A and B are shown apart, each in its own frame.
Chain A
Amino acid sequence: MELLAQADPTKGLSAVGAGIGYGAAAIGPGIGIGIVVGQAITAMARQPEAAGMVRTTMFLGIAFTEALALIGFVVFILLKFT
């Protein structure tokens, strides 16, 4: 009990917050990347001759979508290690 009282409670809370925050930040981009890649596969299956252009655009779309998840990851690192 004394040990618990001595520990800094905010430290543990920031770790919990970092974990929950990163998990929440990953939900939206996860769904978004799924939609982007799924639609790209549909497009490639329908028109295989356009596959090169679709692939380039798909990577662009993934890059824009995943930025949010990566910002969440950076916040996680900042909360955890600073």
Chain B
Amino acid sequence: MTLPFLAALHFPPIDELVNWKALALKGTPLAINKTVLLTWLGVFLTIGLYWLAGRRAKASEDLVPRGSQNVVEATVEFIRNDVILQTIGPAGLGWTAFLVTMFFFIFFLNIFECIPVIQFPVTARMAVPAFLAIVVWFIFNTIGIKNQGFRGYMRSVLKPPGVPKSLLILVVPIEFLSTLLVRPFTLAVRLFANMLAGHLLLVTFAVLCAALFTKSVMAVILPLPFAMLVLFWAFEAFIALLQAFIFTILTAVYIGGAMEPQH
């Protein structure tokens, strides 16, 4: 019972779209289900990749990187040159480790969607993106208060420069809502809804293919949905990468915005 359930070999009922059934420690707040197991797998993959690449970088005698070291070095360079230097500037280089780790963690959780026998993006459960967004919210607010002081940070958040005094009564509530409430909400919902929508798209075509896989005459149109399934599969792999990148770059934008007062 448990193995085909874990390996996605049977189609789960529709109410499990938002809530998997627990496998262990049922009924307690610490219940373990497929989402939890896959999150652990994502954590171990992220740590393992860096541990492997770091060990290889220390051990290698030749200057040309190989294997996992290549992947990690290319990503670190990409995050540093195309994300941090473009959005925060040289002052944000200390955040490279955090942003690279977050990029890989989100990417691993997303790409589970396209891997056979797992076929489930962990980020399609609201808890995971919501937690990541709350972490980002605390980080950029802490940076803003530390760098500009509480009053200075509130002034730079709530009062955009160049706004006439008579409009402030309108602008201040809007800025308060958009920076402190809507930002983490959209950050989480963007990742969650993209992955859930992609997952549903793949499920729709997979179920259609399975329904057509019969001996009846309808089976002649089976190649069409199957071709769509393969195409969307590749597309979703691209989306998994893109959403990890967008989450990372938006985090960098928010951190950069909190570091310096707006002018």
Contact = CB atoms under 8 A, between A and B. Distances in A.
Q: Do A and B come from one complex?
A: yes
Given A56-B86, A60-B249, A60-B253, A81 B194 contact: no
A interface residue count range (under 10 / 10 to 19 / 20 to 34 / 35 or more): 10 to 19
A81 B192 CA distance: 16
A62 B250 CA distance: 12
A77 B82 contact: no
A63 B250 contact: yes
Contacts of B237: none
Given A67-B186, A70-B193, A73-B197, A56 B250 contact: no
B249 A59 contact: yes
Contacts of B192: 74
Contact of B82 (A56, A63, A71): A56
Contacts, number: 42
A74 B185 CA distance: 12
B245 interface: yes
Contacts of B246: 59-60, 63
A70 B14 contact: no
Interface in A38-82: 52-53, 56, 59-60, 63, 66-67, 70-71, 73-74, 77, 81
Interface string B192-217: 11101100000000000000000000
Contact of B193 (A53, A59, A73): A73
Contacts of A67: 186, 189-190
Interface of A: 52-53, 56, 59-60, 63, 66-67, 70-71, 73-74, 77, 81
Given A63-B190, A81-B17, 4 more contacts: A53-B86, A67-B189, A67-B190, A77-B196
Interface of B: 14-15, 17-18, 82-83, 86, 186, 189-190, 192-194, 196-197, 242, 245-246, 249-250, 253
15 contacts: A52-B82, A56-B83, A60-B246, A63-B246, A67-B186, A70-B189, A70-B197, A71-B186, A71-B193, A73-B196, A73-B197, A74-B189, A77-B17, A77-B196, A81-B18
